[in-house]
Amino acid sequence: MTEAPLRELVPAVIGVLVRRGADFASAEDAVQEALIKALDAWREEQPRDPKAWLISVAWRRFLDAARADKTRRERELTVEAAPAGELVPAEDDTLRLHFLCAHPALAPGSAVALTLRAVGGLTTKQIATAYLVPEATMAQRISRAKRRIAGARFDSPGDLATVLRVLYLVFNEGYGGDVDLAAEAIRLARQLAGLSGEPEAAGLLALMLLHHARRSSRTGRGGKLVPLAEQDRSCWDTGLIAEGVTILQTALSADRLGEYQAQAAIAALHADAPTAAETDWVQIVEWYDELLRLTGSPIVRLNRAVAVGEADGPRAGLAALADVDPALPRYPAVSAYLHERTGDLGLAAELYAEAARSATSLAERDHLTRQAARVRQERNVPPG
């Protein structure tokens, strides 16, 4: 068995240990150690029932730890009473784990790390490598998170919106080290959508698939950023697009619109356009209106101004931009683009340069710097 399907078993195994009496933190530690042992022991031959094997090894590890801790002697006596030949229950605890790891008491970064470990089955080293931090730092973060939710009930209802935000944070990290976090987020979102049956969970999955379909076309040689309008659409994954659209249509049919469904609808309209020029910007503006109604987000208002500029012309876009806070990170770049389209190249060049100075990534800064240089050159070239 490869590592990926092995990780699929993690939530169920943790759930069994918790139902037998282990606390969440101890159960999660025991399962992680069982996973490491499995990767070594199963190289030549895997057991007939991998899940039962993991439960057995993790349970023994938990009992060993309990015996070593005198303060947990009473619980040890209780949990050791569980029948040795107990059948592995069919109940799936994955959904409960999603909610527990996205507990409102946790900071977003801690919730992400704990989700990747307890639900995703990744090792601390893998998570640390993906987030470009030392393993010891990530171990401390995960330990603090587990202590923070130590008293939380395993079967208490959770907040789906928080779980969805955590998965979207994972997705937006993209790729790091030997772990493709975007792919991992999609795997967990599939899991969540199937278990919860909620339209918003399906909406998030559709959004991830539609964005992921364009992954290979987003960057050029040397990591150069390629804007949506300039991407090679023949490189887009049509299979992922079709799947995302189908999932979205099913979610929308429930008539319980949420922000991820609205975002996915916008992404679907971009994916549906054969060329950038054929994009249905009027309908995209309508979806941004829905998204703004749902969230009131300043970022949504900023993106809507771009869509209005495409649908009704750059001056209409600038009018929409007047309602947006200029302190937003991407405001200068959007303003530069709209002013360039009105023909005000001097101001556009200044705004592109300003946007480059405040860019949060090297690729974005290089792109905006090139835009500023291009506009300056166009401004200085006399008409032919």
What proportion of the chain, given as a percentage, has pLDDT over 90?
54
Per the listing, tokens 């792109």 go with: 367
d(CA 259, CA 164): 11
Contacting residues for 40 by C-beta, under 8 A, at least 6 apart: none
pLDDT in tens, 185-217: 999 999 899 989 999 999 999 999 999 999 999
What proportion of the chain, given as a percentage, has pLDDT over 70?
90
What is the chain's mean pLDDT, rounded? 88
d(CA 101, CA 163): 8
Q: Which string of DSSP letters, residue by residue, matches 94-117?
A: HHHHHHHHT-TTS-HHHHHHHHHH
d(CA 176, CA 167): 16
- E-assigned strand segments in 116-259: 175-176, 179-180
Tokens of 315: 């001056």
Q: What is the pLDDT of residue 155?
A: 57
Task: Give the C-alpha distances (Å, rounded to integers) separating 355 from 300, 333, 340, 358, 359.
Answer: 18, 5, 14, 5, 6
* Domain range list for the chain: 3-79, 92-196
- E-assigned strand segments in 120-177: 175-176
pLDDT bin (cut points 50, 70, 90) of residue 167 is: very high
Q: What is the pLDDT of residue 177?
A: 57
Nearest to 145 by CA among 181, 185, 103: 103
CB 110 within 8 A of CB 139: no
Is residue 318 pLDDT above 70, yes or no? yes
For residue 101, the one-letter residue type is C
pLDDT bin (cut points 50, 70, 90) of residue 158 is: low
Q: What is the pLDDT of residue 381?
A: 67
Residue length of the chain: 384
